[in-house]
Chains A and B, each alone.
Chain A
Amino acid sequence: MLNFKLSSVKFNATVLLGATLMFSACGGNNEEGANGEVAGTVQIDGSSTVYPVTEAVAEEFRAEAPDVKVTVGVSGTGGGMKKFTRGDIDMVNASRQMSQSEAEQAKANNIEYVELEVAFDGLTVVVHPENDWVKDITVAELKKIWEPEAQGTIKRWNQIRPEWPDREIHLYGAGVESGTYDYFTEAIVGKSHSSRGDYTASEDDNVLVQGVSTDPLALGFFGYAYYDENQSKLKAVPVDNGQGAILPSLETVKDGTYAPLSRPLYIYVNSKAAARPEVVEFVNFYLDNAPELSEEVGYIPLPADRYKAQKEKFNQFAEGLKK
């Protein structure tokens, strides 16, 4: 009748194979490459918003230093920070700054690090293209819409501005786990992670694009890249912070006039990692190529002098470690 021999033989063979490979895989990760070039690994995790930039840099870096293995995960800014502050990874992608509690965690684990800005993202306020009443919106009005007190009370367009129609308003925004949500609430409501809860939330910006583009009464916000790719289906609303209504664009985000909704994206580098030549080379390569690559994947580069400042900051940090 049946024999289970086949599967048990396969089982033994694979376990043996696994065990042998385990030993071979435990080699160091900081050796010099065959031809004197840098080799090793750079482990990165964190924000899925920053991911496309880091992926692009890692891809180009492959041609520059083929012996360096750069890996990138997408466990979110919060998830990435948890690993980073435990010392599990070399670098973390972050769509917001490290929080107080994360910094304390890092300190408790003796993790030192440097924070670097790599690009801008302009959070864009959007409505349906058929919406002909919203020509601009002030920061105070956005606050009125999104603050926690608005829950259940601000439900119609004319409650925000009397000349707007007496029709329902449908809100779409980033899910509460995302760095985008943290940033938006900080900039608009004034307190991070605090807003009304009765809106359509999604961590996936494409879902929000879909929602706003099919709902004439919608108002939503998400990253500039998602607006840029879907301009025919959406209408961006100029935001007025007291100095005139400004539309997000490459120029207005870059020169800082589109405020307060343009935000920097960050990478953080662990000090132990920054002592390794392959990491130093990668970070420098990152900052050299971020202007071009961040724009290619839909973000907005920092002004040139700001990249220079980031590079100086990093290299001083790396030099300081040698002493």
Chain B
Amino acid sequence: MTNSEKNRLKDKAFQVFGIFCTFIGLVVLGIFLFDIILEGAKRIDWDFLVSLPSRRASRAGILTAWVGTIWILLLTTIIAFPLGVSAGVYLEEYAKKTKLANFLEINISNLAGVPSIIYGLLGLEIFVRQMRLGSSLLAGALTLSLLILPIIIVTTREAIKAVPRSIRDGSFALGASKWQTVWHQVLPASFGGILTGIILALSRAVGEAAPLIVIGALAYVPFTPSSPLDEFTVLPIQIFNWTSRPQEAFLTNAAAAIIILLIITFMLNGIAVYLRNRQQKKIKW
């Protein structure tokens, strides 16, 4: 065997290995989806979406849960998006490479790995008790914002880093200030990457139950929230609650609720992908 044949074989081997790795994730997801849809799809109907929780599995619905989830998602986006992107821009564009910046950097990366329940405890003390927000949507959204901020900051920085140096230099050469350069060149150019980070972050937030249970999100709420200060429940809590019930019929409900949660996540991602593609078409250098 010649050297080049060997190398080609290695190349082929790695390709097969790569396909295998890709499929592991997809197959597991596929099995999960198949199982859930088989179990839950028959349970989904209009009544399921507009009914309140009930002790009878066949009458129980998820109205308060999905409305709560949408509220939480919107509020979390509104809070975490500007905070996270601003922090990312600051760290990447403005902060001098001092010890303080280094320290901040390491800690933000560490924060991304803190278990979510710890954020729940933090939220309970600061937002629920000190700020007296109670177990409200706002307290929940603030807690989840803390949870996803590190992800948004880190991905924003990566996206900004990917903008070529020449674009900034060109902007400065035309007399633009730092702010003008960031606002008119760097941010638009990196928007696609930032958006991807936000999708990932929100997809994490939408599945969280633990921190919200800690801050006092409810399991049984007979009314949909009408303001950010109302009490609430979310789909993951409803799902968690149903899976721990003894009656088999509640497991079917849980599967159906998981499908709805997946649909919400997919729709969210769809919107983000659409925005990203539209944005990328606009960038012409």
The interface of chain A, by Cβ under 8 A from chain B, is: 1-2, 4, 7, 10-11, 14-15, 18, 21-22, 24-26, 43, 45, 48, 51-52, 54-56, 58-59, 62, 69-75, 79, 83, 88, 203-206, 223, 225-226, 228-230, 293, 296-298
Contact = CB atoms under 8 A, between A and B. Distances in A.
Interface string B52-87: 111100000000000000000011001001100000
Interface pairs A-B: 10 shortest CB-CB: A21-B227, A2-B188, A72-B220, A56-B55, A225-B246, A229-B246, A74-B219, A1-B188, A226-B246, A73-B218
Contacts of B248: 229
Nearest to B278: A2
B213 A22 contact: no
Contacts of A71: 218, 220-222, 231
11 contacts: A2-B282, A45-B218, A48-B244, A52-B245, A54-B220, A55-B219, A59-B53, A70-B222, A71-B222, A74-B241, A297-B55
A22 B227 contact: yes
Main secondary structure, interface of A, reads: helix
Contacts of B55: 52, 55-56, 59, 293, 296-297
A45 B134 CA distance: 14
B154 interface: no
Contacts of A203: 244
Nearest to B237: A74
Nearest to A296: B55
A25 B227 contact: yes
B279 interface: yes
B187 interface: yes
A25 B227 CA distance: 7
A18 B228 contact: yes
A55 B221 CA distance: 10
B72 to A, nearest CB: 13
Main secondary structure, interface of B, reads: mixed
Given A1-B282, A51-B241, A223-B246, A69 B227 contact: no
A69 B187 CA distance: 47
A83 B216 contact: yes
Contact of B53 (A55, A79, A225, A293): A55
B78 A14 contact: yes
B252 to A, nearest CB: 13
Contacts of A56: 55
Contacts of A25: 226-227, 229-230
A88 B218 CA distance: 14
Interface string B206-248: 0000000110111111110011111100000100010111111
Nearest to A222: B246
B48 interface: no
Given A11-B82, A21-B228, A58-B222, A228 B217 contact: no
B138 A18 contact: yes
A204 B244 contact: yes
Contacts of B75: 14
B196 to A, nearest CB: 15
A69 B219 contact: no
Given A21-B227, A51-B219, A59-B54, A206 B213 contact: no
Given A4-B187, A56-B55, A298-B246, 6 more contacts: A70-B222, A73-B135, A73-B216, A74-B218, A206-B245, A229-B246
Contacts of B283: 1
Nearest to A41: B231
Given A14-B74, A48-B244, A223-B246, A69 B82 contact: no
A75 B213 contact: yes
B216 A75 contact: yes
Contacts of A225: 246
A18 B222 CA distance: 22
A58 B226 CA distance: 21
B181 to A, nearest CB: 12
Nearest to B248: A229
B10 interface: no
A122 to B, nearest CB: 13
Given A55-B55, A74-B241, A297-B55, A2 B226 contact: no
A83 B214 CA distance: 11
Contacts of B220: 51, 54-55, 58-59, 70-72
A22 B138 CA distance: 10
Contact of B226 (A21, A45, A72, A205): A21
Q: Which among B54, B214, B226 has the greatest number of chain A C-beta atoms within 10 A?
A: B54
Given A22-B228, A69-B223, A75-B213, A206 B53 contact: no
A69 B184 contact: no
Interface in B180-196: 184-185, 187-188, 191
